[in-house]
Amino acid sequence: LTGTSREQRAFQYLLAHAIPGDPHHILQTFDQWCYHCEHLSCVGPDKGRIVERVLLERAPLRVLELGTYCGYGTVLLAQGLPPGARLYTIEGDPQHAAVAEKVIRLAGFSEQTVELIVGPSEEVIPCLREKHGLMNANLVFMDHWKRCYLRDLRLLESHQLLAEGATILADNVLFPGAPHFLQYAKTCGKYHCKVHRASLEY
């Protein structure tokens, strides 16, 4: 009825209520909107704590996010980066990317810290090294289309974009589910797998 998308309405709420340059408050304000106004499929605070814990344990210098959406996960990742680290985030939907770009910059992250790349992941991944300077990633956060998880993991492998000992963190592998990705990760012999129990967002 308003002529704007849910994502744009959420950003307007952020502009009105969030403290610019305060990533933690940006995420809290997002959560308020999603709990009380409209649901958005962001990572959310419960699963966010798992992401924060992994960042703390791994202290990755090069992070790749597949599926920026509104930028919630991007801000969550960026605020937990060690000094000098860089985050590359890929979003296939230009309208979502436009909102995410504003959210990321509102949170106070520059292009030197967070680079948002717009385009289908299967087209962007092969160009990451030459076009964007990502030699390899220490941490990959997958939160895009579940059917793309396995394809994109194999692309990362074939283009040698995973650093030795890299961590792959994949959201919602049980529901809605990414069974082929899960089977591959468990049986290919390249990864140690751990399933984190969590609830759906909000």
**Contact between 40 and 52 (Cβ < 8 Å):** no
Q: Is 93 a known active-site residue?
A: no
172 is known as an active-site residue: yes
Q: 147 is written with which tokens?
A: 């059917």
DSSP code string of 115-174: EEEES-HHHHGGGHHHHH----EEEEEE-S-GGGHHHHHHHHHHTT-EEEEEEEEES-II
Active site residue 190: no
Tokens, residue 35: 């709990």
Asked if 45 and 31 count as a contact pair (C-beta separation under 8 A), the reply is: yes
CA quadruple 129, 140, 166, 26: dihedral positive or negative?
positive
Q: Which of 38, 172, 190, 194 is catalytic?
A: 172
Which of 47, 171, 186, 194 is flagged as catalytic?
Answer: 171
152 is catalytic: no
Q: Exactly one of 47, 101, 146, 152 is catalytic; which is it? A: 146
7, 31, 65, 143: which is the annotated catalytic residue? Answer: 143
What type of residue is 1?
A: L
Based on the residue annotation, tell me whether 201 is a catalytic residue of this protein: yes
Catalytically annotated residues = 143, 146, 171-172, 201
